[in-house]
Structure 1
Amino acid sequence: MSSKLPAAFVEKMNDLLGTDQIEPFMASYDQPRAFGIRVNTAKISIEDFKQCATFAIQPVPWAPEGFYYEEGVRPGKHPYYHAGLYYIQEPSAMAPVQLLDVKPGERVLDLCAAPGGKSTQIAAKLQGEGVLVVNDNHSDRVKALVKNLELFGVRNAVVLNEKPERMIPVFRGYFDKILIDGPCSGEGMFRKEEDMMSSWERHSVEQCSLMQRELLVQAAQMLAPGGRIVYSTCTFSPEENEAQIAAFLDGHEEFEVVPVRDFEPGRPDWLRAPWVDPCAFSPRAVEAVAGTARLWPHRLKGEGHFAAVLRRAPASAGRAADERPAAAAAQPPAAGKRSGREALRQGKGRAEPPRAAVSLEPLRAFEKELLRGEPYGAAQLVCYGEHAYASPAGLPELHGLKVVRPGWYIGALHRGRFEPSHALAMGLRMSEAKRALSFAIQDGRALRYLKGETLEVAESEIVRDPAGSGSAKGYCLVGIDGHPVGWGKWNDGMLKNEYPPGWRWT
């Protein structure tokens, strides 16, 4: 494959790497690719996954949840994939979220999120606590983002389709952690996607650099004092990597680079390369970029990445109270306290004329019949039209923004009945359903369910809550080996399949 690389790219890398490194770098393109999956620890522990994995896996050194698998294995064609137990992800792409150091309960933004690989990785680290806001300004890419979040069973995510500058007034100083996996020239994707080579010369490095610089400046305004930004790309060009960090540091004295020790360091000497903007960087900025990280395809099993960890200085005691105005303004009432203060917000993320409130009685009846405990936690129940969502607590008002999902999608209230969503099923645990049915993976009905077929199911197979009605009739949560995959409706020995057509096994 090395013979297919663009000549201009080869010449540039030769100048950057020099004679001692260019040969192994070029040779890496003729080596087999590394394939990876990342375990969804919000649904299954790493140890339990190792026990049930049906194909050989080897650990990815820099990601505890990551594993290599062999070429030829098709993990996307397995029931466990449809249960959201893992995400198929290029191994080096797992590093940025690991460096973000997400903790449960934090407020996290994935600014350039589609198709959602890193978003689902963040969600697993949050363990259902805190707030995850994911955004992508390309409307055609947001559908894949939503689907992956639903597949992973994420309960506390808000999905936006916005330009970052429009988000700043709403989220100024709001987030503890921000990931910027910036749009880039994609030089690290050549081996994975060969069509990237043909588009590389048309995909301007200069244009990408301008977008990246804007994203860093915009993200900085949404970060809380003491917070952390991880900026990453899948390209090798210093213009999009070290130069971006140096320029940002020179414009933002309140930020510093947190040195990354687990990978090869960034290259301060490349700030003098002829491709870099000739403006002079300060000695502080030049020295700091040595703390960034480069993942090289000839040094590890992965396609390559760049990452920088940026930390904002903590606020002084006198300023701390007014640094996060958006968060302070919008603590909603807890959904668990279902008084008359429940939110019945209308609209689609933009201000609209008031409509008549949708009755929640069908939803309440469904909850009483099917759900145990408080699966929504402290989330606030909101309605956009006929659609009900559990919106994360502490979220500021989103009026004026393009909101694709204001939270966990619960289902639709339509003509006096409630239809639970597939997202609700994927976000529940089997123990949270009063009626449940779990097929063993060896049971042929597991695959037939994923294909959308109506199934014969004996009444004795439906697990029911002893404190409930005792009836097996109606909705039940369907799982495979104890992991939810969707809904079914049981009646008189038959299970009507509620698995969405667009998700079905083909």
Structure 2
Amino acid sequence: MTKQLPPLFRDKMIDLLGEDEFERFLASYDQARSYGLRVNTSKITKADFLDKSPFALEPVPWASEGFYYEEGERPGKHPYYHAGLYYIQEPSAMAPVELLQVQPGERVLDLCAAPGGKSTQIAAKLQGEGVLVVNDNHSDRVKALVKNLELFGVRNAVVLNERPERMLNVFQGYFDKILIDAPCSGEGMFRKEEDMMQQWERHSVQEFAAMQRELLGQAAQMLAPGGTIVYSTCTFSPEENEAQIAEFLDKHPAFDVVPIDRFDHGQPGWLREPWCEETYSAQAREAVAGTARLWPHRLRGEGHYVAVLRSGVGFGERQDADVVSVSKVGRGGRDALRGKGRAGTESRVSLEPLQAFEDELLRSEPFAALRLVCYGEHAYASPAGLPELHGLKVVRPGWYIGALHRGRFEPSHALAMGLRLREAKRALSLASSDERALRYLKGETLEVAESEIIRDPEVTKAAKGYCLVCIDEHPVGWGKWIDGMLKNEYPPGWRWT
């Protein structure tokens, strides 16, 4: 593969690294790749996952829930993947969220989120508390982002498909933490995706640097006092890394770099011709030494650059949004909080079918801490404390609960994935070794004895109707049981192929 590296890239890396270091860097391209997965601790503890894991795992040193797995393993072809118990992720890509140090209850923005690997990592850190806003301005990539959040069972996320500049008025001074996993020239992906080399030759580093500069400035305006921005790329170019941070610091004196000691340091000496034309202050040059570089020849990963930026307490003013309080599904026919439908018209629908579903199927009140909103016939549980989102392209205003259609409630797959077995009054739990588990994931109808349906002791009704289908007690979807048969409600687009 080393012979295929773009000549301009080779020459640049020799200039930056020197001959000896470049030879070690180059040798990494002929070494076996490292593969990783990250445990979804919002669904299962790390210890419990390790007890039942069918894979040989080794901890990723910089990621508390991250593990290497062997190349021959196929974690994407196991029922636990369909239960959302882990996310398959390149190991060095796990570092930025770890360095963001997300705490439950915080307001967090993933500004360039698709396909959602780092978003799901943030969600697990939040443990269902606080607000997660995820955004990507590419409409074709948002579908994968939504699917991964639903697979992970995330309840407190809002998905946007917006240009960041359009978010500024809504989220001025709002977020405690912001992740910018910036679009970049992708030099760290050459070994993983060889077509990235052709893309690198077609797109200039300067083109990406201009986008990154804008993203950093926009994120600064959406950060609350004392908040933290983590900026990351999967490229080695100093124009997209150290130069971005040095320029940002000179333009935003309220920010400081929080030094990272775990990895190799950023390189102030690379802020020079011919790669970086700007003149930076001595203070900014010194500060970029506190940023981090993850090199593929120095650790088991494809490579990353990360900077942690913290604003001074006096920077900006946190904006607390007006909150419409809807504590839970209304009883006695109370209407849902209104939202804008697709055509922009107000909608008001009765929540009685949803209330009936909750009374029949759910033990707890999973929507109690959220506010319920309806867009057309679609019901969502939206995180409390959000500002008004009118005018933005909202793909998901919260946890998608289901559709209120012609006087009945049809639960969503996202609702099933966000529930826990203990929250359901009626469920079926199949062992991962049961051949019916795989058949369910393929969309087949199953034979299920009534005695296998787990039911609330207080429920005297028959097992007929919706039940939460689980594998090893972890939800994977819905089924409808009647007379010994389970009609499969697993979505066609999710099915095992």
Pair in the same fold by TM > 0.5: yes
| Deviation of the 1:204 alpha carbon | 1.2
Instruction: Map 1:59-70; keep pairs closer than 5 Å.
Output: 59-70=59-70
TM-fit CA distance, 1:72: 2.0
Task: Tell me the alpha carbon deviations over residues 160-182 of structure 1, each in whole angstroms, 9 at most, x when there is no partner.
Answer: 00000000100000000000000
Cα distance in 2 for partners of 1:503, 1:396 equals 33
Matched residue type, 2:15? D
1:177–1:143 Cα change, 3 Å:
same
What amino acid maps onto 2:337 in structure 1? L
Q: Are 2:329 and 2:367, in contact at CA under 8 Å, matched by a contact in 1? A: no
- 1:112 aligns with 112
CA–CA separation in structure 2 for the residues paired with 1:354 and 1:447: 43
Tell me the equivalent position of 1:282: 281
1:379 alignment counterpart? 370
Task: Indicate yes or no: 2:201 matched with 1:209.
Answer: no
Match of 1:336 among 324, 328, 332: 328
Distance in 2 of aligned mates of 1:269 and 1:376 = 53
Amino acid at match of 1:503: W
Q: In the alignment, is residue 345 of structure 1 matched against residue 342 of structure 2?
A: no
The answer to whether the 8 Å contact 1:464/1:470 transfers is: no
**Contact 1:113–1:145 under 8 Å retained in 2:** yes
CA contact (8 A) 1:408 1:424 kept: yes
Range 211-220 or range 459-468, more displaced: 459-468
Deviation at 1:3, TM superposition (A): 1.1
* Corresponding residue for residue 292 of structure 2: 293
- The residue that corresponds to 1:125 in the other structure is 125
Cα deviations by residue, 1:433-462 (Å, 9 ceiling, x for unpaired)? 000100011111000000000000000000
Match of residue 8 from structure 2: 8
Change over 3 Å in CA distance of 1:234–1:124 after alignment to 2: same
Supply the distance in 1 between the matched residues of 2:242 and 2:126 (Cα, whole angstroms). Answer: 29
The one-letter amino acid of 2:114's match is: A
CA distance in 1, matches of 2:345, 2:453: 45
Indicate the residue corresponding to 2:318 in structure 1: 324
**In 2, Cα distance between the equivalents of 1:137 and 1:196?**
20
Residue 458 of structure 1 aligns to which amino acid in structure 2?
A
SS in 2 for 1:345: strand
Deviations along 1:182-203, one digit per CA (max 9) or x if unpaired, are 0000000000000101111112
Looking at structure 2, the residues matched to 380 and 351 of structure 1 have their Cα atoms a distance apart, in angstroms, of 22
Give the conservation status (yes or no) of the 8 Å contact 1:351–1:399.
no
| Contact kept in structure 2, 1:114 and 1:136, CA below 8 Å | yes
Q: Which aligned pairs between 1:353-392 and structure 2 lie closer than 5 A?
A: 353-355=345-347, 357-392=348-383
Aligned to 1:50: 50
1:45, 1:342 → 2: CA distance?
A: 38
**Residue equivalent to 2:90:** 90
Q: Tell me the SS of whatever aligns to 1:93.
A: helix
The answer on 1:196 being equivalent to 2:196 is yes
- 2:228 partner letter: R
Contact persistence 1:351–1:400 (CA under 8 A) = no
Q: CA deviation at 1:91?
A: 0.3
- Residue 334 of structure 1 deviates from its aligned partner by 4.2
Note if 1:146 corresponds to 2:137. Answer: no
CA gap 1:337/1:381 in 2 versus in 1, 3 angstroms? closer
Sequence identity (%)? 76
Match for residue 472 of structure 1? 463
Whether contact under 8 Å (1:92, 1:305) holds in the other structure is yes
The match for 2:260 is: 260
**Alpha-carbon deviations, 1:285-311, whole Å to 9, x = none?**
001000000000000000000000000
Give yes or no for contact 1:342–1:381 (8 Å, CA) kept in 2.
Answer: no
CA drift of 1:47 comes to: 0.8
CA contact (8 A) 2:249 2:256 kept: yes
Aligned with 2:389 (options 375, 391, 398): 398
What's the CA shift for 1:469? 3.6
Cα distance in 2 for partners of 1:55, 1:396 equals 43
Secondary structure in structure 1 of the residue aligned to 2:353 = helix
Structure 2: state its 5+ residue gaps. none
Local SS of the residue matching 2:75: coil
Partner Cα distance (1:305, 1:131) in 2: 27
Q: Secondary structure at the match of 1:114?
A: coil
Q: Output the amino acid matched with 1:332.
A: V
Which whole-Å CA distance do the structure 1 matches of 2:394 and 2:280 have between them? 39
Q: CA deviation at 1:207?
A: 0.5
2:475 aligned partner, one-letter code: P
Is the CA contact 2:173–2:223 (under 8 Å) kept in the aligned structure 1? yes
Say which SS state the counterpart of residue 478 (structure 1) adopts. Answer: strand
Q: Conserved in 1, the CA contact under 8 Å of 2:330 and 2:355?
A: no
Per the alignment, in what secondary structure is the counterpart of residue 350 of structure 2?
A: coil
Aligned to 1:425: 416
- Residues 243/273 of structure 1: CA separation in 2 closer, same or farther (3 Å cut): same
Report the CA distance between 1:335 and its aligned residue. Answer: 2.2
Contact conserved, 1:478 with 1:484, CA < 8 A, in 2? yes
Q: Aligned partners of 1:461 and 1:307: how far apart in 2?
A: 50
1:463 maps to which residue? Answer: 454
Are the equivalent residues in 2 in contact too, given 1:449–1:497 (CA < 8 A)? Answer: yes
> Is the 8 Å Cα contact of residues 153 and 414 (structure 2) preserved in structure 1?
yes
Equivalent residues of 1:335, 1:342 under 8 A apart = no
Provide the secondary structure at the position in 2 that maps to 1:383. Answer: strand
5+ residue gaps, structure 1: none
> Aligned residue for 1:303?
302
Superposed CA RMSD: 1.4
Task: Provide the rounded CA distance (Å) in 2 between the counterparts of 1:123 and 1:336.
Answer: 22
Note the C-alpha offset of 1:471: 1.8
| Partners of 1:335 and 1:193 in 2: CA distance | 47
Aligned to 2:244: 244
Q: Is the 8 A contact 2:327 2:368 kept in 1?
A: yes
Partner residue, 2:36: 36
Deviation of 1:346 (Å): 2.5
Q: CA deviation at 1:351?
A: 8.7
- What is the distance in 2 between the residues matched to 1:178 and 1:106? 11
**Contact in 1 for aligned 2:330/2:351 (Cα 8 Å):** no
- How much has 1:376 moved relative to structure 2? 1.6
Give per-residue Cα distances to partners, 1:124-180, cap 9 Å, x unaligned: 000000000000000000000000000000000000000000001000000000000
TM-score normalized by the length of structure 2: 0.98
| Partner amino acid, structure 2, of 1:495 | L
Q: Which residue of 1 aligns with 2:398?
A: 407
What's the offset of the Cα at 1:337?
7.8
TM-score (norm 1): 0.96
Q: Describe the superposition over 1:37-84 as per-residue Cα deviations: whole angstroms up to 9, x where unpaired.
A: 000000111111111111111110000100101112111000000000
Measured in 1, the distance between the counterparts of 2:336 and 2:165 equals 28
Task: Give the Cα–Cα distance (whole angstroms) in 2 for the partners of residues 385 and 41 of structure 1.
Answer: 34
Work out the CA distance in 2 between the residues paired with 1:60 and 1:334. 42
Q: CA deviation at 1:470?
A: 3.4
Count of residue pairs brought into register by the alignment? 496
Q: How far apart are 1:221 and its partner, in Å?
A: 0.3
